[in-house]
Amino acid sequence: MIYNDKPSYWGFLVSLVYPVRCFCCDGLINYGDYVCDDCRVEIEKCRNSRTKVVSFYGRRYNIHSPFVYMDAAESAVKLIKFTFSPDNAKPMGDEIAAKVRRLRERDFDIVTAVPFTKKDKLDREYNHAVLMAKRVSKRLSVPFDEKLLKKIRQTKRQHHLSGLERRTNLRGAFAARKDVRGKHILLIDDVVTTGATLCECADMLYRAGARKVTCATFAATKYSN
Ligand SMILES: [Zn+2]
């Protein structure tokens, strides 16, 4: 798999000041690598062979995720989310790109990501889903547009909500900001649990005229409730 980057002289110099770290465990690694030897083995054990299928307001969504949200893959998500590690979006985005590249319908027109609210933006230094989506866009040579969707309402934290409660919590939380008539949109997020967030966003894109919305995440939880 794609676990290193093309070396550059500039990148090497930067690595002397800011050492390169494994995107799963944060351990120090060589310049040019993304993952340490142990995590390279461990993350392969998290490969996801299934596609999460979610029904949402009469539409069926297949959500494509290279990994199951467990062990090394779970630790990678927590690392990029809770520590300042924007470069980790590179290998994570590469994995998403590799996954969607194998789809039969991959004639994407635009790549976008599940947006943050203004409050989210204040709490975090970056939206990791946006960084991953940018990397996917680069890998697939499909334009990225951050402004397709907007989160217009702050929502409750979702961890303890049931599937139905999540849907209610999210209804009307997002809005499509552009006319996307006839477009096939690739929508990216970090993790899919019930799929409520992705499907709510996708639903808004369909209302704005999208021909098709394909959803992909870095990892998928094993069970949806
Ligand atoms: Zn590691």
Range of the domain at 159: 47-220
93 occurs within a structural domain: yes
36 alpha carbon to ligand 1 midpoint, in Å? Answer: 4
100 alpha carbon to ligand 1 midpoint, in Å? Answer: 25
52 alpha carbon to ligand 1 midpoint, in Å? Answer: 27
Residue 65's CATH number: 3.40.50
Dihedral sign from CA coordinates of 102, 103, 109, 114: negative
Contact in structure between 49 and 68 (CB atoms under 8 Å): no
- Range with lowest mean pLDDT among 32-41, 64-73, 157-166, 210-219: 157-166
Q: Is the pTM of this model over 0.75?
A: yes
216 occurs within a structural domain: yes
More confident call, 17 vs 39: 39
Ion ligand 1 contact residues with beta carbon within 5 A: 22, 24-25, 27, 36, 39
- Please write the tens of the pLDDT for every residue from 60-106: 999 999 999 999 999 999 999 999 999 999 999 999 999 999 999 98
- Please write the tens of the pLDDT for every residue from 26-73: 999 988 889 999 999 999 999 999 999 999 888 999 999 999 999 999
205 occurs within a structural domain: yes
33 alpha carbon to ligand 1 midpoint, in Å? Answer: 11
Cα separation, 44 vs 67, whole angstroms: 8
Distances (CA, A) of 159 to 6, 165, 172: 38, 11, 19
122 alpha carbon to ligand 1 midpoint, in Å? Answer: 29
Cα separation, 18 vs 7, whole angstroms: 15
- Radius of gyration over alpha carbons of the chain, in Å? 17
pLDDT at 158 (0 to 100): 72
204 alpha carbon to ligand 1 midpoint, in Å? Answer: 38
pLDDT at 225 (0 to 100): 43
Stretch 212-216: mean pLDDT = 97
More confident call, 30 vs 169: 30
Contact in structure between 65 and 48 (CB atoms under 8 Å): yes
What tokens were used for 114? Answer: 């599940």
Cα separation, 114 vs 128, whole angstroms: 10
99 alpha carbon to ligand 1 midpoint, in Å? Answer: 22
pLDDT at 113 (0 to 100): 96
5 occurs within a structural domain: no
Q: Which helix (H) or strand (E) is 192 found in, with range?
A: strand 184-192
Q: What are phi and psi of 128, to 5 degrees?
A: -65, -30
How many structural domains are present in the chain? 1
